[in-house]
């Protein structure tokens, strides 16, 4: 008789590990989503696990705990290279060797400089057979923030904008213009529930006075809010500063602009804001600091037009997500990105989804694998 187990392939086991990894989504940052499956020599899954929350047990350890003695001689499928460092938890490779696992099949090497190939080297040195690369693209895709933070030393940046049918983001500079439907707004809040940080320019604070919280969607971790505000125009009365319980509010300025604005800085800090002073005033430098000091893996850049254009020109946008609405703004409207610099047809792996009367278009700016 042919059973389901007879037809399970290594790809199936890895797909199972990837599926499990997803169960940690929204709870593991700054750590990665990780899934692990242990298969006996007979092809039976004897243990499985995923990383449920930053600082808690690693996926491999949970799978080994479940398998117990049955792990001996088996194969461990894991979506990321097992770690070899002592962080908040012990090194997984030691547990794998102790459990007598014969073979490790990992989707991808860990980009964390503390690991970065050393986990594989340790396993091989202890007689464990290692294979790397099965479903590597999918494994990187689920952890793009983690890979971007370690490889590019900045968070993964998603540029988000709501556009009129004639390609405008507002009726006039500095004017609050509501374009999107309730369905699109729900989607936007759901996205806010998953990213590490939302960022806006000071112009948006002045025009909209937004709360910048994730509403109507459950969020497990604090949400960092970043305001790009070189001239410290954010008023201490801004509504976002009444939401520091939801997560830190970081105001980004630059050393040259800060001169003469010390009292403004103190007033913002008294309201609980954290002020990040860059040397260059470039977004790229600020992103580097946010990745290093705040461990931000993902950042949603919500606007307005000036900060979108600056990030686009600096080449730090990874994903573009547009909500295109049926409204027409007409003459005098503020265009999305300088004419000719962006075409949604050029986005890679473009996805289009109707949301009520609006249409969401999203895709990657560069190749991602």
60 has catalytic annotation: yes
Radius of gyration of the chain (CA): 23
Q: Which of 76, 80, 223, 226 binds ligand AOF (CB under 6 A)?
A: 80
Residue 254 CA neighbour count, 13 Å, CB half:
13
Q: Which is nearer to Zn ion, 83 or 107 (CB)?
A: 83
Residues that bind Zn ion (CB under 5 A): 58, 83, 92
- Please state, in angstroms and rounded to a whole number, the distance separating the CA atoms of residues 99 and 290: 39
Shortest Cβ distance from residue 156 to ligand AOF (Å)? Answer: 15
Comparing every residue's Cβ against ligand AOF, the nearest one is 87
What order do you get walking across the sheet with 129-132 strand by strand? 45-50, 35-39, 75-78, 103-106, 129-132
8 A C-beta contact, residue 76 and residue 66: no
∠ CA(109), CA(110), CA(111), 5° rounding? 110
* 3-state SS track over 154-181: CCEEEEEEEECCCCEEECCCCCCCCCCC
- Residue number, 194 or 358, with CB nearest to ligand AOF: 194
Determine if 247 is a binding residue for ligand AOF (CB under 6 A). no
* In the complex, least distance from residue 119 CB atom to Zn ion, rounded to whole angstroms: 8
Q: How far is the CB of 143 from ligand AOF (least distance, A)?
A: 10
> Out of ligand AOF, Zn ion, none, which partner does residue 232 contact, by CB within 5 to 8 A per kind?
none
- Alpha carbon dihedral 42, 43, 44, 48, in 10-degree steps, equals 130
- How many degrees, rounded to 5, is the angle at CA 58 between CA 113 and CA 17? 100
- Choose which of 41, 68, 73, 87 interacts with ligand AOF (CB under 6 A): 87
What phi, psi does 47 have (nearest 5°)? -165, 150
Nearer CB in complex with Zn ion: 45/115 = 115
**Toward ligand AOF, which CB reaches closer, 143 or 234?**
143
- The CB-of-165 to Zn ion minimum distance in angstroms stands at 50
* 96 touching ligand AOF, by CB under 6 A: no
Please tell me whether residue 152 binds ligand AOF under the rule CB under 6 A.
Answer: no
Select from 83-91, 95-103, 178-186, 268-276 the region that touches ligand AOF (CB under 6 A).
Answer: 83-91
Asked if 106 and 96 touch (Cβ cutoff 8 Å), the reply is no
CB of 229 to ligand AOF, least distance (A): 31
Per CB under 6 A, the list member of 13, 20, 32, 71 interacting with ligand AOF is 32
Peptide bond into 304 cis (omega under 30): yes
Q: Which of 22, 56, 60, 66 is catalytic?
A: 60
Best CA proximity match to 38, nearest among 58, 67, 59, 6: 67
Which residues make Cβ contacts (< 8 Å) with residue 32, sequence separation at least 6?
Answer: 51, 80, 110, 143, 146
Q: CB 60 → Zn ion: shortest distance, Å?
A: 6
Q: How is residue 249 written in tokens?
A: 């509010």
Closer of 63 and 324 to ligand AOF (Cβ):
63
- Compare residues 33 and 207 and give the one whose CB is closer to ligand AOF: 33
Selected binder of ligand AOF within 15, 20, 38, 59 (CB under 6 A)? 59
Q: Which residues contact ligand AOF (rule: CB under 6 A)?
A: 31-32, 34, 51, 55, 58-60, 80, 83, 87-89, 92, 110, 112, 115
Q: What residues are labeled active site?
A: 60
């Amino acid at each position: 008789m042919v059973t389901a187990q007879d037809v399970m392939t290594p790809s199936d086991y890895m797909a199972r590990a990837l599926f499990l990894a997803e169960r940690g989504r929204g709870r593991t940052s700054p750590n990665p989503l990780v899934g692990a499956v242990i298969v006996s020599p007979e092809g039976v899954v004897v243990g499985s696990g995923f990383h449920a929350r930053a600082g808690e047990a690693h996926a491999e350890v949970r799978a080994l705990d479940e398998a117990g003695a049955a792990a001996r001689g088996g194969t461990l499928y894991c979506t990321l290279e097992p770690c070899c460092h002592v962080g908040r938890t012990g090194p997984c490779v030691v547990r794998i060797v102790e459990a007598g696992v014969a073979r490790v099949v990992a989707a991808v090497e860990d980009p964390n400089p503390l690991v970065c190939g050393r986990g594989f080297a340790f396993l091989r040195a202890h007689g464990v057979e290692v294979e790397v690369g099965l479903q590597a693209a999918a494994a990187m895709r689920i952890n793009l923030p983690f890979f971007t933070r370690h490889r590019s030393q900045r968070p993964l940046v998603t540029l988000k904008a709501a556009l009129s049918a004639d390609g405008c983001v507002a009726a006039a500079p500095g004017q609050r213009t509501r374009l999107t439907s309730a369905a699109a707004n729900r989607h936007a809040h759901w996205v806010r529930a998953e990213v590490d940080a939302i960022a806006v320019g000071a112009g948006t604070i002045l025009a909209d006075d937004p709360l910048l919280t994730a509403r109507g969607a459950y969020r497990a971790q604090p949400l960092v809010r970043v305001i790009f505000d070189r001239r410290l125009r954010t008023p201490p009365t801004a509504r976002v500063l009444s939401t520091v319980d939801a997560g830190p509010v970081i105001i980004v300025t630059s050393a040259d602009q800060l001169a003469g604005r010390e009292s403004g800085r103190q007033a913002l800090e008294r309201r609980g804001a954290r002020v990040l002073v860059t040397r260059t005033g470039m977004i790229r430098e600020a992103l580097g600091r946010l990745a290093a000091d705040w461990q931000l893996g993902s950042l949603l850049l919500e606007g307005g037009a000036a900060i979108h254009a600056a990030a686009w020109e600096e080449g730090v946008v990874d994903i573009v997500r547009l909500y295109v609405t049926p409204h027409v703004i007409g003459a005098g409207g503020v265009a999305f990105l300088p004419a000719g610099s962006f075409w949604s047809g050029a986005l890679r792996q473009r996805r289009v989804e109707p949301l009520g009367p609006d249409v969401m278009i999203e895709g990657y700016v560069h190749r991602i694998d």
